[in-house]
Amino acid sequence: MSNGRARRSIPMPVGEPADDDAVDSLLEACRKARDRGERMSNEDAAQYAAWASTTPPTFRRWIRKGRPSSERKKFKLDQDAGFKQDLAMNRTIAHTVRKRELAGIQPTKSIRTYQRAARRELGEYVLVALRKGEKEARQHELTIRQHATHRNAAWHIDGYTARRRVLTANGRGVLDAHVLVVTDSASGAIPGCDVVRDEPDLPDALHTIGEAMRKTPDLWVPYGAPGVVFHDNAGIYTSPQFWTPLRQPLINVRCEATPPFTPRLNGRVERPIGTLRTLLATPLENGSLIDLAGKPLIDADRAAVPLATLIGEIKAACVEHNNLPYRENRKISKAQAWQELPGTVRPVPDALLSQFMRRARVIVTREGVLLENEHYLHHTMRKGHILGHEVEVRYRDMDDTWVEVHYAGKRLCRALNTRILAADEDKREPLINTRAIDRLKAQTLLTEAKSMSLDYAQSERDKAIAEAPRAQAAPRPDWESIPDPYGYDRDTN
């Protein structure tokens, strides 16, 4: 007799099931354990079902009734004569079944079986048209199009408040942090996101789309231009300045808004946002608040953190979200599902993605350009015609390793972060020590120029002295031999 506690007397099979006989042997062992009064726990049932490539309820049903020898044939509406005509008159499936029962026509299957067959054969559009009319079906067509089955067929963009406060660029102020998230409809993976100080605006939305289309394998797998981007009809998404850059050639992304007062259509992006909220609710440090599940939570009134710290947490949360199981196949992750799903990936050139980056105007100094308290340097920025001039810097929030420097409307170079380059021996000599090298070179050149100038001046003086003819003293005039023009005699007094 069982003592009420779950015990495992059947060893857990190792490896994949070789054939149906192995599964039948496991089911027979489970039946004998049941006859002995042993109770199977939910954890054991889940492990056995995963080994047998089925679900726990199905595995328990196989123990009770046996495993079916062949797959059951799906019911079709054509097997019940006249059901489609009655459905067109009665609108709903349940009402049609009840009407047929009152008329003396017994249904061959249950209402649930008819509903599954109708969704499988007729489709959502026909069912909505039968129930609410053609006008409602056209409005519902957007919902049907959002159920994408190919990767990069449809993306969703939305934002939320991160419940964290971040420091400003100078570190003297505090602002609320907002996160913009882009999700792939077919796989549920996150192609890109962005952290924004204060309320997001139009450049923030374009920068988030650009980050999603950029290939960043270290952070998230999906990349490339999508077919359509769905948004929640916010002002920053409906502006022509948002969808015009996305409609240009080689990108060709269509933007569509969900109808007003239909929050259910945004469920594709709200679920990943909820997952990110949960992942960000677990801080790195200990000793914080604890929720009902015993997990630590972040206090909403905690001290502000730098923007780079929150960006690092968002990156880790996105990577963990993409590694979660895929909804259609729990054996693979969302990132793996995106790689295996059908669909064409359209990579976007870096030159086109440059226009979606953030922009700032800074002055070029000997240390490079200063941006978010980080210096970025390139050897072409040491030229005399660039030093001291104002240039346009294009940068990414999620990657602080490099920036693009534009001068006079042209791309000048890609400057690298000096702090990160300090740990790279190969790049440190030509870039980090450029200032010391230039100073030494300048001193050498000045010393050589000074010595050359002194030697040249001395040589010129010696040459002038050697080549100049000797000057003879002018003869002294003989005043006595010169007659007096006035007729006086100089010897007379």
Look at the pTM and tell me if it is higher than 0.85.
no
Report the pLDDT value the prediction gives residue 5, as an integer from 0 to 100. 46
CA 81 to mean position of chain CA atoms:
53
Q: What is the pLDDT of residues 115-142, one digit of tens each?
A: 888 888 887 778 878 877 777 776 666 5
Q: Is the pLDDT reported for residue 430 higher than 50?
A: no
Q: CA-based angle 189:195:201, to the nearest 5?
A: 105
Q: Is the pLDDT reported for residue 434 higher than 50?
A: no
Using pLDDT thresholds of 50, 70 and 90, give the confidence band for residue 403.
very high
Using pLDDT thresholds of 50, 70 and 90, give the confidence band for residue 429.
very low
Buried b (16+ CB within 10 A) or exposed e, 387-426: eeeebbbbbbbbbbebbbbebeeeebbebbbbeebeeeee
Q: What is the pLDDT of residues 332-366, one digit of tens each?
A: 999 999 999 988 899 999 889 999 999 999 999 88
The lowest-confidence range among 259-263, 276-280, 433-437 is 433-437
Report the pLDDT value the prediction gives residue 224, as an integer from 0 to 100. 93
Q: Is the pLDDT reported for residue 2 higher than 50?
A: no
Mean pLDDT of 217-235: 86
Report the pLDDT value the prediction gives residue 124, as an integer from 0 to 100. 74
For β-strands 228-231 and 289-290, DSSP reports them as unpaired
Q: Is the pLDDT reported for residue 152 higher than 80?
A: yes
Q: What is the pLDDT of residues 415-427, one digit of tens each?
A: 888 887 776 655 5
Percent of the chain with pLDDT over 70: 74
Q: Is the pLDDT reported for residue 266 higher than 70?
A: no
Report the pLDDT value the prediction gives residue 482, as an integer from 0 to 100. 62
Nearest to 153 by CA among 121, 110, 185, 198: 185
Report the pLDDT value the prediction gives residue 295, as an integer from 0 to 100. 52
* Residue 76 near residue 117, CB atoms below 8 Å: yes
The lowest-confidence range among 134-138, 325-329, 473-477 is 473-477
* Residue 401 near residue 451, CB atoms below 8 Å: no
Of 52 and 244, the structure prediction assigns the larger pLDDT to: 244
Report the pLDDT value the prediction gives residue 406, as an integer from 0 to 100. 92
Q: What is the pLDDT of residues 64-91, one digit of tens each?
A: 888 877 666 778 888 887 888 888 888 8
Q: Across the chain, what does the average pLDDT equal?
A: 78
- Non-local CB neighbours of 264 within 8 Å, separated by 6+ positions: 143
Question: Residue 443: in which H helix or E strand, if any?
Answer: helix 434-467
Q: Exposed, middle or buried: residue 4 (CB in 10 Å: 0-12, 13-18, 19+)?
A: exposed
Mean pLDDT of 244-262: 84
Q: What are the φ and ψ backbone dihedral angles of 305, each rounded to 5 degrees?
A: -120, 160
And the tokens for 160? 């939320």
